[in-house]
Structure 1
Amino acid sequence: MVKFEDPRTWPKLDAIGGTVELSPALILHAYRHGVFPMPFAPGLIGWFSPMRRGILPLDGLRVSRSLRKSAKRYRLTVDQAFGQVLARCADPARPHGWIDEAIARNYAELHHAGIVHSVEAWDAEGRLCGGLYGVNMGGLFAGESMFHDPVHGRDASKAALIGLVDLLTADGVGGRLLDVQWRTDHLASLGVIEVPRDRYLELLSAALELPAPEWVVPD
């Protein structure tokens, strides 16, 4: 198994290595040490620990009045349509798509094991309009991907994110970590910040000691 235990041996790059191997056990081993997989090329998995990691402080989510109003149009569920969410996130027609068959298969296995979860946003007609999925280990939620329907899903992925933050904070446990991998302009508009790799690893170590949230939509 690839070893990620000693960050002092990692290159000062976002990508710290590559393998042809990918398995649920290796994925979990990587997340425990602040590393996540993304394909480099067909048959080659890259392992990443960004020098500047994107996180969303759970008390820092920015929800405008218009977004709050828009989000109320959706009904949120948890783990009710994981396969559909994964398929929509993996749609090869999406710009910068990266979820290949191996990634999808392994994360589906982790979902069946109760480690990977999805949040779904549905409209009044029962259409799946947006959603997200990611890995939960203790107090860590590592967001992997999100989507919205371009026709029916205005703000649907944001509604799912609001629901996720509500879920992670519903029981009052502090210190949980919402990892989004990289900060983008879009995510920054919602409150995502960057922290150096060393700081992320400190936050991760503390978060992994915390209890997992209850995976239900808060009232």
Structure 2
Amino acid sequence: MTIYLPCLDEYEDSFPDVESALTEPDGLLAFGGDLSPHRIINAYKNGIFPWFSEQDPILWWSPAKRAVISPHKFTPSKSLKKHVRRAKLTVTLNHATEQVIQLCASTRPPEETWITQEMIDAYIELAHLGFCHSVEVWREDMLVGGLYGIKLGQLFCGESMFSIESNASKVAFWHLCQHFAGVGGQLIDCQIMNPHLEKLGVAEIQRTDFLSQMTILQHEPTNRDFTTCMLKIDEGQ
């Protein structure tokens, strides 16, 4: 099957209208361009994200359905609550963003990861600029789980998560939801649904609904910055 896609201009950061994205493969919008901070942030602001394999050109996506969750609506399972009480883990925000990004890439089989070295370098640069944030789960001084993503106002765009031990990524996600809700965050974008996200309570909405919410939320500030700190769970909330 022949696919015709717009090629992004090297010198301009604009994107085609997301309504022009393909239905097969779902959401494929354009190729080319670069992974400069300005282009990536412009993509997120328009409901678009990069996703490609090592052998591919840079591909840009905006699927017809978006996997999202309100951080206020996340409900941890009884087993996860029990695990957190017993596991003696420490959870932090923005303490080891570079490590989290690298582990999200290296803990997956090479054929399954889209986090190429080019992507790693791009999101580390975004972290240095204050856009990319991470949640880290520690057992003593060992990083055993975490996640990272892009924060735009009251919207958090999750990119990836990893677990070296059981439930560590769920622990990171629970802490993200509670902390983000606590600072005034309203929506977490998980991009594309998978069985792990579905178990966490993530649901799909139409692209038009996501864009309507995203357009407002990205311009609404949270009541506190997403600064480096220790995160603790309040099980009563």
Answer yes or no: same fold by TM over 0.5: yes
Separation in 2 of the partners of 1:114 and 1:178?
Answer: 18
Residues 148 and 156, structure 1, Cα contact 8 Å, conserved in 2:
yes
Check 1:217–1:22 CA distance in 2 against 1; reply closer, same or farther (3 A cut).
Answer: same
Question: Secondary structure in 1 aligned to 2:34?
Answer: coil
**Number of aligned residues:** 213
Q: Which string of whole-angstrom CA distances, capped at 9 and with x for unpartnered residues, describes residues 123-152 of structure 1? A: 1x3211100000011111100000010xxx
Check 1:218–1:86 CA distance in 2 against 1; reply closer, same or farther (3 A cut).
Answer: closer
Question: Which stretches in structure 1 are left out of the alignment for 5+ residues?
Answer: none
Question: Secondary structure in 1 aligned to 2:80?
Answer: helix
Aligned residue number for residue 235 of structure 2:
none
1:199-210 matched pairs, under 5 angstroms: 199-210=209-220
Structure 1 residue 7 displacement after superposition: 3.0
1:36-115 matched pairs, under 5 angstroms: 36-42=49-55, 44-72=57-85, 73=87, 74-91=89-106, 93-94=108-109, 96-115=112-131
Check 1:155–1:134 CA distance in 2 against 1; reply closer, same or farther (3 A cut).
Answer: same
TM-score, length of structure 2 as denominator length: 0.83
Looking at CA atoms only, which structure, 1 or 2, has the larger radius of gyration? Answer: 2
Question: Secondary structure in 1 aligned to 2:102?
Answer: helix
Question: Secondary structure in 1 aligned to 2:72?
Answer: coil
The one-letter amino acid of 2:31's match is G
Structure 1 residue 10 displacement after superposition: 3.5
Question: Secondary structure in 2 aligned to 1:39?
Answer: coil
TM-score, length of structure 1 as denominator length: 0.90
Aligned residue number for residue 202 of structure 2:
192
Residues 135 and 147, structure 2, Cα contact 8 Å, conserved in 1:
yes
Q: Which string of whole-angstrom CA distances, capped at 9 and with x for unpartnered residues, describes residues 15-47 of structure 1? A: 111114221110001000000001255361110
Residues 86 and 133, structure 1, Cα contact 8 Å, conserved in 2:
yes
Aligned residue number for residue 161 of structure 1:
173
Question: Which stretches in structure 2 are left out of the alignment for 5+ residues?
Answer: 1-11, 233-237
Aligned residue number for residue 4 of structure 1:
15
- Once the two structures are overlaid, the 10-residue window that deviates more, 55-64 or 78-87, is 55-64
Aligned residue number for residue 35 of structure 1:
48
Q: Which string of whole-angstrom CA distances, capped at 9 and with x for unpartnered residues, describes residues 101-135 of structure 1? A: 11111100000011100100011x32111000000
Structure 1 residue 155 displacement after superposition: 0.8
- Once the two structures are overlaid, the 10-residue window that deviates more, 54-63 or 80-89, is 54-63
